[in-house]
Chains A and B, each alone.
Chain A
């Protein structure tokens, strides 16, 4: 538990972790960002908070009221 550890132990723990992380493989942002954008664009059309939901199909619409058809 971090609260029970001495400052020295915490630093040792951080050091070990950093030594591991330096060796992680990484990909360029130009590639990963492009994939994130593509993923979002593919999903956006079906995102109810982006495209909205017609009031009569909105499960949270206010009770009562009318629609004009």
Chain B
């Protein structure tokens, strides 16, 4: 339709957007928090930071857990990528990237490699050597090439494929061994900032979020965008699938987190407060999906009751923006990374063991 002007295209687009919202509204017969009214409220939450990982020389930008639930990979503005044992806080590996602002890093499912990238526009894979003295950079494999910065990366269900998102507005799926692009995903109108893979049981989809305020759900095999959501008022910095795969959460510079129900095809909850005015950089769910953790640019972490829409806790501790946050694979803790150069591992503080038997029976003090 060569006669289409920008104006006619815009008008048609607006008309369709209105129609789409009308179709979605027809099935919006109740709110999530109304359905959740009968569910027992969560009690008091006391969280305690158990480990502080110090070693980065500048802002921590990204982190990921290893499937072994104890190792963590993190990347920083200073170009360093570090692999930590979070139980002992020991640094097991360190790599210096040829660029600064390593915005993305991910652990391979096998635990034998990490992927990372940033201002170099690439995603590279480093096999982790058992020999601590080996120079990891020597075995580096360049896998993905974008035409702008790498914002996020994650391995699919094996070490063989990596999904990437970029400032060039696209996402792509790559074969690690050959470096070949297997599929590309076009649809965002600006930088893509984040992505998350659907839980393996729910099939081959992933969700992405970007500077165009859109969250898109993609079919990995066809490259098609299946659904898209445009309710945020600013950049979407983080997206995370709900554990069942039927929904996803997003965090945005508009200071809200939102929940999108994929089968109802709409936003079903907004997690916000008038007092929260700084952007959300990263979000993740607890194991059951009942809690949503959000890291914010005002240095705090807010914990939300996903079903009731209320905040259950606010955590302080970081001395600068929280930039990245992930719950561990078995849900026992979460790790947050910050512009204050540190990472913190935090979990529930349980009072159970503080109860002392006062009935007079013999007590034994045992070192942990």
Which residues of A are at the interface with B, using a C-beta cutoff of 8 A?
Answer: 1-5, 7-8, 10-15, 17-22, 24, 26-37, 39-41, 43-44, 46-56, 58-69
Q: How far is the CA of A18 from the CA of B16 in the complex (A)?
A: 6
Q: A26-B23, A58-B347, A61-B368 are in contact. Are A48 and B266 (CB under 8 A)?
A: no
Considering the complex, give the chain B residue whose CB is closest to the CB of A34.
B35
Q: How many CB-defined contacts (below 8 Å) exist between A and B?
A: 226
Rounded to whole Å, the gap between the CB of B327 and the closest CB of chain A is: 7
Rounded to whole Å, the gap between the CB of B288 and the closest CB of chain A is: 4
Which 5 A-B pairs rank lowest in CB-CB distance, beginning with the nearest? A2-B169, A43-B288, A60-B50, A47-B288, A52-B350
Q: Are B170 and A50 in contact (CB under 8 A)?
A: no
Chain B interface size, as a band, is 35 or more
Q: Are B265 and A28 in contact (CB under 8 A)?
A: no
Q: Are A3 and B368 in contact (CB under 8 A)?
A: no
Rounded to whole Å, the gap between the CB of A14 and the closest CB of chain B is: 6
Q: How far is the CA of A41 from the CA of B308 in the complex (A)?
A: 13
Is B177 at the interface (CB under 8 A from chain A)?
Answer: no
Q: Which residues of the partner chain A approach B266 to less than 8 Å between Cβ atoms?
A: 26, 29
Is B130 at the interface (CB under 8 A from chain A)?
Answer: no
Q: Are A55 and B350 in contact (CB under 8 A)?
A: yes
Question: Which among B16, B24, B332, B354 is the interface contact of A59 at CB below 8 angstroms?
Answer: B332
Q: How far is the CA of A17 from the CA of B9 in the complex (A)?
A: 13
Q: Is the interface of A mostly helix, strand, loop or mixed?
A: helix
Q: Are A29 and B367 in contact (CB under 8 A)?
A: no
Is B243 at the interface (CB under 8 A from chain A)?
Answer: yes
Question: Which among B6, B9, B16, B352 is the interface contact of A55 at CB below 8 angstroms?
Answer: B352
Rounded to whole Å, the gap between the CB of A55 and the closest CB of chain B is: 4
Considering the complex, give the chain A residue whose CB is closest to the CB of B8.
A11
Q: How far is the CA of A49 from the CA of B35 in the complex (A)?
A: 23
Q: How far is the CA of A32 from the CA of B261 in the complex (A)?
A: 8
Q: Are A29 and B288 in contact (CB under 8 A)?
A: no
Is B228 at the interface (CB under 8 A from chain A)?
Answer: yes
Q: Which residues of the partner chain A approach B242 to less than 8 Å between Cβ atoms?
A: 36
Rounded to whole Å, the gap between the CB of A31 and the closest CB of chain B is: 8
Q: Which residues of the partner chain B approach A64 to less than 8 Å between Cβ atoms?
A: 367-368
Q: A29-B29, A30-B35, A34-B35 are in contact. Are A43 and B6 (CB under 8 A)?
A: no
The B147-177 residues at the A interface (CB cut-off 8 A) are: 147-148, 167-170
Q: Which residues of the partner chain A approach B268 to less than 8 Å between Cβ atoms?
A: 29, 32-33
Question: Which among A10, A35, A49, A66 is the interface contact of B189 at CB below 8 angstroms?
Answer: A10
Q: How far is the CA of A15 from the CA of B354 in the complex (A)?
A: 61
Q: Which residues of the partner chain A approach B24 to less than 8 Å between Cβ atoms?
A: 26
Question: Which among B10, B169, B225, B265 is the interface contact of A11 at CB below 8 angstroms?
Answer: B10
Q: Which residues of the partner chain B approach A15 to less than 8 Å between Cβ atoms?
A: 9, 12-13, 16
Q: Are A33 and B264 in contact (CB under 8 A)?
A: yes
Q: Are A35 and B246 in contact (CB under 8 A)?
A: yes
Q: Which residues of the partner chain B approach A65 to less than 8 Å between Cβ atoms?
A: 367-368
Is B322 at the interface (CB under 8 A from chain A)?
Answer: no
Q: Which residues of the partner chain B approach A13 to less than 8 Å between Cβ atoms?
A: 186-187, 189
Rounded to whole Å, the gap between the CB of B258 and the closest CB of chain A is: 14
Question: Which among A4, A17, A66 is the interface contact of B225 at CB below 8 angstroms?
Answer: A17
